[in-house]
Amino acid sequence: MNRLQAYFLSALFAVSAAVQAQPPVPIAGPKALTGVPGAAAQVLPDFADLVDKYGPAVVNINTQTRAQPHQAIPGLSEDDPFYEFFKRFMPPEQRPPNPNEGASKGGEAPKGPLRPFGLGSGFIVTSDGFIVTNAHVVENAEEITVRLTDKRELKAKVIGADMRSDVAVIKVEATNLPTVKIGDTAKLRVGEWVIAIGSPYGFANTVTAGIVSAKSRDNLSGDPNMDAVPFIQTDVAVNPGNSGGPLLNMHGEVIGINSQIFSRTGSFAGISFAIPIDYAYNVAEQIIKTGHVTRGRIGVAITNVTRDLADGLGLAKAQGAVVSNVEDASPAAKAGLEAGDVILKIDGRAVEGSADLSRTIRAVKPGTRVNLSVWRAGKTRDVAITVAEFKDEDTNKAKVAKGKKGEAKPGKLGLAVADIPAEQKRALKLSGGVAVEAVQGAAQVAGIQAGDVILRVNNTDVANVKAFNEVVAKLDPKKPVALLVRDENGTRFAIIRPDSE
């Protein structure tokens, strides 16, 4: 034993002895923290009974896929001189098949052998074998094996997978299976205890515990498919293989599906994310009943309201969703919604931001009529919209021909503008606005470019250069200015701040 080993062992024994010498210290419960006289202290929770009751409903999922010739040796092309070299030294069951074998006999080239593809988790929601998991767990899988806590292994088939929510439903042929209890995410509180059950790195039915760190987190993965998922953030240890497993509260209810971690190494770093069960189970139920998912849409592109934008538009709070573009012939267009409108409420419920509006609308059944509270030009108005079925569609793009640099001299706000010819207004379907000819200073910092069109300054529409200059002349130089700008990508608000001039 070297000196370093001896040091760590002695330190370990010292810590162990110190812990054994001290009696357990109770943790103050919520009442004690409020200073209520006589409030009893609480000890840390015991999850054993909860795991005994609901753990058997959590399953381990193993997937397999067939090796394809171009996939069998990662990072090497078939044209690479080392491809054949490495192929010869691979185990026979993992070698890529010869694409020409069988072709001489008029048949198809044989498929590659099944090989391990991925590990994940899931939970049983019906006693006859419907299991909920993540869509990415079963994506591209050709064979799925589900392992239960009683050591049974059952083959499963995919009933449906929805990449926009990362939720999938698979089915095994069995009866009288244990099931989970579905909870209510609306009752979930930041700071309450939760546990995850899953198969990190293949260690089946592993239990980890922590607390809810935050709610309604926007998607940080960069996947636009999941832009409407209001993630639950926890500090529960989650690693590869936990995906698709349940997040449970202290009542044993599933309140989320463990889906993502934030990590720079690929392993748990103290931040994990779960899909709220109310959002996920709505998707799962549709898959079980119909095999597919239907979502609502109104046909708008939206962004969040910033503090500067709220100040510029005269809003009391930085809340709501700004309409940056309205699709032609969409429900929003038919209802009279316009670019630059700020959607504050839907059916009387406050809209926190763009993700909140997206997830709310997508949860609405197509054909349903909803009422929006909209802020436009300094006033609130109600707009009734009939929700249509969600489809991915391109937004309309348009741009005024760019002026030449140095052609015009920028004035206040760092902008030089010009009137838009009538024929261009007709082509772009504009009723007003001014074209940007040159940009500098504050406007350049705000991302405005020559060729953009300015439609509104704060809450005032501008029909021409004269109207634009009149509005700008009255602006408070100490306050940020919100310009409604149209460019080739749609319509957006650009904020010009006093400190950037």
Positions annotated as catalytic residues are 136, 166, 243
| 369 DSSP assignment | E
Give me the residues paired with residue 262 across strands.
none
433 contacts 457 by C-beta, under 8 angstroms: no
How far is 68 from 322, CA to CA, in rounded Å?
46
The amino acid occupying position 16 is S
Q: How many other C-beta atoms are found inside a 10 Å radius of the C-beta of residue 489?
A: 14
Maximum pairwise Cα distance, the chain: 89
282-295 in b/e burial notation, b at 16+ Cβ within 10 A?
Answer: bbbbbbbeeeebeb
Give me the residues paired with residue 481 across strands.
496
Q: What are phi and psi of 210, to 5 degrees?
A: -175, -155
Query: Locate tokens 């634009």: which residue?
Result: 468
Separation in Å, CA 450 to CA 406, 408, 466, 488 = 11, 10, 19, 12
Q: Which residues contact 416 (CB under 8 A, 6 or more apart)?
A: 408, 409, 410, 436, 437, 438, 439
